[in-house]
Amino acid sequence: MFKLSEIKELIKLVDQTSVQELEIENEGSRLSIRKPNKTESVVVSAAPQAYAPVVTQAHTAIPAGQAVQVTAEGAGEPAQPQAAAHDNLHKIVSPMVGTFYSAPSPGAASFVQAGDRVHEKSVVCIVEAMKLMNPLEAEVKGEIVDILVENGQLVEYGQPLFLVKPE
């Protein structure tokens, strides 16, 4: 049976990626998360039992196999003024699917922080894919305005990682 905290964490992970559907089976229980049209569908079913409750956020028991709709509040598009402010910024995007690392090793300082100046060959992060560490360069001379992902976060191909104000 899946714990509520596990389901919430999986919903957050799916929401942060471009994955549209996730299905997991564990010890006779099945969890399916889909995100069509800015909502996430969570369906939990268990091996045939008389009653297998699932606890929701409102602490209401729901019989196994019954669908629960969770609306992704705040997942809409950002406000227009904010989008306009980012129009003149260069986005450094992930060239592959992998894990984002902001530093060369766990105890080391980050490659860059917001406000740092970079040039075209400055290493800004590492994206690990299939146990290979791939350094990512800034591609442009300028100032790091924002770091859009957290250390250790899974990133998708083409996902923006940094915003740089070009010089």
Q: How far apart are CA 133 and CA 33, in angstroms?
A: 30
139 contacts 121 by C-beta, under 8 angstroms: no
Residues pairing with 9 in the sheet: none
* Per-residue b or e along 4-19, where b marks 16 or more CB atoms closer than 10 Å to that residue's CB: eeebeebbeebbebee
Place of tokens 């060959």: 121
Q: How far apart are CA 40 and CA 11, in angstroms?
A: 8
Q: Report residue 19 as tokens.
A: 């994955």
**Confidence grade of residue 166 (pLDDT, cut at 50, 70, 90):** very high
pLDDT at residue 39, rounded to an integer = 44
Q: How far apart are CA 155 and CA 21, in angstroms?
A: 16
Average the pLDDT over 27-34 and give the result.
Answer: 77
The string of pLDDT tens digits covering residues 111-157 is: 999 999 999 999 999 999 988 999 999 989 999 999 999 999 999 99
Average the pLDDT over 41-62 and give the result.
Answer: 49
**Biggest distance spanned by C-alpha atoms of the chain:** 66
The string of pLDDT tens digits covering residues 62-74 is: 455 545 555 444 4
Q: Which domains does the chain have, with CATH numbers?
A: 4-71 (no CATH), 80-166 (2.40.50.100)
Helix (H, G, I), strand (E, B) or coil at 85: helix
pLDDT at residue 112, rounded to an integer = 93
